[in-house]
Structures are given as C-alpha cells and as structure tokens.
Amino acid sequence: MEPTFNLEIITPYRVFVGTASEMIIVNTIDGELGILPDHEPVAAPIVIGPIKVKIGGKWKNAAVSDGILEVVHERVTMLVGAAEWPEEIDVARAERSRARALERLKDTTVVWEAHRAKAALLRAETRLKIAKGSTP
Ligand code: ATP
C-alpha cells in the first residue's frame, strides 16, 4: 500500500473530503503544488480552479473555490468556499453563472464589481471543465 496522509477539504456546507489520501495537486497563488506524504509544513492561499486527489489508488478531479491550505504533521487541511465532484456539477447552472459574469464584466467600470465578476467567471469555467471531464 502506498503511504498516505490525512486529507480534509472543508466547505461552509459540508466536509467534502475527510479521508486518507496518497497525493493532492492544488493551485496556490504561487502556482501548482503537489503534496505527498512527509511534505514540509506549508500554509498557502488556494486559488479557484481544479484539484486532483488520489484516494485508495484512484485519481479524482474536483472543482474548488478559493481558500487556504495548511500542511502539518501528515495532515493536509483545505478550507474552501465551495467544492464539487464532476458528477455533482449542474452544467446548466454553471453556464448561466458564466453568462451572468460575462454580462457584468461588459457592463461595469467599478473595480470591485469587475473583480467579483472575474471570480464568478472563473468558478463557472472551472465547474464546466471539471464536469466535462477535462483533467487539470
Ligand atoms: P451560482 O451563481 O450558480 O450560485 P456561484 O459561483 O456564485 O454560482 P458559489 O457561491 O461558489 O456559487 O457556491 C454556492 C454553493 O452552490 C456551493 O455549495 C457550491 O458547491 C454550489 N454550486 C454552485 N454552482 C454549482 C453548480 N454549477 N453545480 C453544483 N453546485 C454548485
């Protein structure tokens, strides 16, 4: 059996993952980070995008919103705004969300509104990619 660490991915709505994992690949503000057992301690902001986790020998993809990551003593904890497996994603909803965000981006000149619309666009595009089975 491959060595594992304890992985917890928590959203405001549920414990998305709470199990042993062999590896996780996430996007942080400094770029892609792959974590294996025995990883050095890390705390880093996570950006909206795809993640890959290996659980029980199988790789799974998921979409996550932004959040934070902590690695300490064989325990990896991620607190994120939202997380979904491919089969949970409502594609029509993500398409509506994407269209709304594009409209807002076209209409607004207000910096914070544009920033929020870009984040919404990125969440929707990540969900669409993950739902369609595109691997990160
Ligand atoms: P929307 O505009 O459709 O609400 P959003 O990006 O603003 O999208 P979030 O705030 O990131 O949504 O998520 C709120 C909750 O809805 C979370 O539980 C998230 O997992 C879920 N969610 C959002 N979009 C989808 C989707 N397309 N399919 C399934 N669950 C979704």
8 within 8 A of 77, measured Cβ to Cβ: yes
- From 1.10.10, 2.20.28, 1.20.5, 1.10.600, which CATH number describes the 90-131 domain? 1.20.5
In sequence order, what DSSP letters do the residues of 45-84 get, joined into one string?
EEPSEEEEEEETTEEEEEEE-SEEEEEETTEEEEEES-EE
In CATH terms, the fold of domain 5-86 is ATP Synthase; domain 1 (2.60.15)
Residues with CB under 6 A from ligand 1: 13, 65, 81-82, 84, 88-90, 93-94, 97, 120, 123, 127
Per-residue pLDDT of the chain (136 residues; tens, 9 = 90+): 899 999 999 999 999 999 999 999 999 999 999 999 999 999 999 999 999 999 999 999 999 999 999 999 999 999 999 999 999 999 999 999 999 999 999 999 899 999 999 999 999 999 999 999 965 5
- Which two tokens mark 90? 């409502």
pTM for the full predicted model: 0.95
For residue 35, how far is its CA from the centre of ligand 1 (angstroms)? 27
Instruction: Give the span between the Cα atoms of 62 and 129, in whole angstroms.
Output: 10
